Amino acid sequence: MRKTSKVLFVFGTRPEAIKLMPLINKFKENNFFDVKVCVTAQHRDMLDQVLQFFSIIPDYDLNVMRENQSLFYITAAVLKKIERVLDDSKPDVVVVQGDTTTTFIASLASYYKKIKVAHIEAGLRSFNKFAPYPEEANRVLTSRLADYHFAPTKRAMQNLLNEGISNNVWVTGNTAIDALFLTLRMLESNEDGFYPRELVGKVEPIDRIILVTTHRRENFGTPLENICKALLEIADTFKDVKILFPVHPNPNVKGAVYRLLHGRENIILLKPLEYPKFVWLMSRASIILTDSGGLQEEAPSLGKPVLVLREITERLEGVEAGTAILVGSNTKRIVDAVSDLLTNKYKYERMSKAVNPYGDGKSSGRIVQILEDELIKCSE
């Protein structure tokens, strides 16, 4: 009889949770694995929404979040609290995702305990350690600590190879697409349950929708103000367009956005939406403006052009495939790009029909099978 392998998932933010939920479920379906879940709650409310939607009950909750927390605080709090989790759960492998502070610190703590680390969404690089900040450094440092590297694309794999990381590297696609397809199937069977009631009386079926999200630290301050100026100009020019902006709760974002955009007739500021409602909104949007990495991956599967509110991106595959355009935080570039898509049918269709380079919705199954095979080999 095969020995069961203990796997501990560690994550702390909403994007990590979304991308790991289908993977956790796949691991739990496989009797070879004994699965435990630890959340750091680096983001509390936004994380809890996803846990509830996917019916995941954590075995450990570090509950580290506090208002306007600093990187120093998150780093120290997670490192201090996760030690007892590792001692109690005694995992054979710790699974982390992406580029958060939770990801890096969980990997560091596992290294201290000589526990193997599996890194989901490995190998993305912007090659600028301050953009995205601190995510680029988190991702690079995690790669040096990880034992298993699950790259979403061939480019990500090549980045790892270029850095001398050649053992246990696989291209699997991105689990974000697995989560999106799962949610879309649920939406098709219960669209009323997904409809954001916050939009009742504010958005009509005929309205064209621009969906906006921003939360990156490098956009705090003047860059975010420039983004808001662009939205004001777009709202004034295109009266038939509704700009929907779920505002991140970070005070550096929320304060500026409400100060500059609150009360504008066709700009609707929303509280952060639950994931299923957000998927509904993505499916209805005409254009998506975002500095989120996850949306750069998900939107193309819905046929939505993405304007990336960053100067550089670690997800160049979308830019090269024609699903995304880098516009940064420059007011004119944002306005010009949006205007072009709203008025140029050919350009809009070309972007909306470009093939998504990030996955086919089967990444989780590949990862589970690979890790099972590798752990069996190690035990022989």
Give me 213's structure tokens. 């999200």
In the chain, beta strands by DSSP E: 5-11, 33-39, 60-61, 93-97, 116-120, 148-151, 169-171, 208-213, 241-246, 267-270, 287-290, 306-308, 324-326
C-alpha pair distances (Å), 307 with each of 7, 121, 226:
37, 22, 15
CA geometry: angle 124, 127, 133, nearest 5 deg: 80
Q: Sign of torsion, CA 167 173 91 38?
A: positive
| Residue 121 among the catalytic residues | yes
Q: Which of 16, 99, 314, 317 is catalytic?
A: 99
| Residue 217 among the catalytic residues | yes
Q: Which of 121, 291, 298, 317 is catalytic?
A: 121
Give the 3-state DSSP-derived string for 73-131, with helices as H, strands as E and coil as C: HHHHHHHHHHHHHHHHHCCCEEEEECCCHHHHHHHHHHHHCCCEEEEECCCCCCCCCCC
Give me 288's structure tokens. 């998506």
Q: Which of 215, 310, 315, 366 is catalytic?
A: 215
Rounded Cα gap, residues 181 and 175, in angstroms: 10
Which DSSP symbol is given to 291? -
Q: Which of 34, 48, 198, 217 is catalytic?
A: 217
Residues 6+ apart with CB under 8 A from 210: 234, 241, 242, 243, 244, 285, 286, 287, 288, 289, 338
| Residue 207 among the catalytic residues | no
| Residue 149 among the catalytic residues | no
Q: Which of 16, 43, 61, 135 is catalytic?
A: 135
Active-site positions read 99, 121, 135, 215, 217, 248
